[in-house]
Amino acid sequence: MTAYAQHFAEVVPRQGEGIWSLLRRSGVEPTTGTVKEFKEVNADLLSRNNELRRDVKYRIPVRSVTEPLFGAKLATVKIESNRLEGHVYYIVGGHGGPDPGTLGTYAGKQIAEDEIAYDTALRLARELMKESATVHLIVQDPNDGIRDATYLPVDHDETYIGNKKIVLNQANRLRTRAKVINDLYDKHSKTAKSQQVISLHVDSYGYRVEPQVDVHFIVGSNSGRELANSIRSTVEAKYATYQPDRGYKGEIASRNLMILRETKPTAILIELGNIRHKGDQHRLVKPSNRQTLAEWIKDGLVNSALGAGV
């Protein structure tokens, strides 16, 4: 479970800077709550009209969370907003343990679905934590961390949260995955604003030649379709802004999958691309693209949580 801590940074104001702009420059979202907290912490240093003095170091309340699964360099996550406070997300990197998922070959080297999905899952979890979300990474590998590498070596040491073994038998594996999520759901049920499962995969569909165009969605319920629609609309808007000549055709389809059917929270499965399509491979092996996908999915989740249009 995400556990947040608070510390303080000391910052000297610039010429003409007020409390709101000082907080924003310091990486803290200026809201009524953060401004009030700033005034309380620095009450003895502010002028009578709560104006900043330029010869004073002010204490900036900074919240952070530490998650070792992200790796040593990225383990500490600085909180940037409280937009997702109270919202709970179960991030599931597809497959794992004895099951690497679908395998592909890129530039003569093997690439595995579970490694690409897991790296993207870590990145998505970190982005959600920046927004004050409570995040549970259901599949975990303590040795990997977020990797800025093109080729992610295949291993089989992933476990479920709580160090629960991932077994080879598919039915047992998926049943355990659903139970882990449902047990956590029950613990949060009285306090959470929302609870959602985001399962990440890389599709195969045999050796088909057309690309997946980055993100497709599989849903099993009306609430899942609404969530997928929010993320899809966000991704489509991103394409219109950053790649207007390319277009976006990400689809939403209904499937009767256990991860969608047997989990209590609203659940969607996201296909990040096609592991056997050369164009998709070229995108998915790039860490910058995996990061972009994570950020865009996070933005869609924020829009969904806030009920915002795109």
Domain-wise residue ranges, the chain? 4-63, 70-306
Tens-binned pLDDT, residue by residue, of the chain (310 aa): 566 677 888 999 999 999 999 999 988 888 888 899 999 999 999 988 889 998 999 999 888 999 999 999 999 998 888 899 999 999 999 999 999 999 999 999 999 999 999 999 999 999 999 999 999 999 999 999 999 999 999 999 999 999 999 999 999 999 999 999 999 999 999 999 999 999 999 988 755 556 565 688 989 999 999 999 999 999 999 999 998 888 888 889 999 999 999 999 999 999 999 998 888 999 999 999 999 999 999 999 999 999 854 4
Angle between helices 287-306 and 113-130 (to 10 degrees): 50
Class assignment of domain 70-306? alpha beta
Which residues, 6 or more positions from 202, have their beta carbon under 8 angstroms from its beta carbon?
94, 101, 102, 113, 116, 117, 271, 272, 273, 274, 275, 284
Nearest to 84 by CA among 310, 304, 309: 304
Which residues, 6 or more positions from 83, have their beta carbon under 8 angstroms from its beta carbon?
131, 132, 302, 305, 306
- Is the distance from CB of 103 to CB of 151 less than 8 angstroms? no
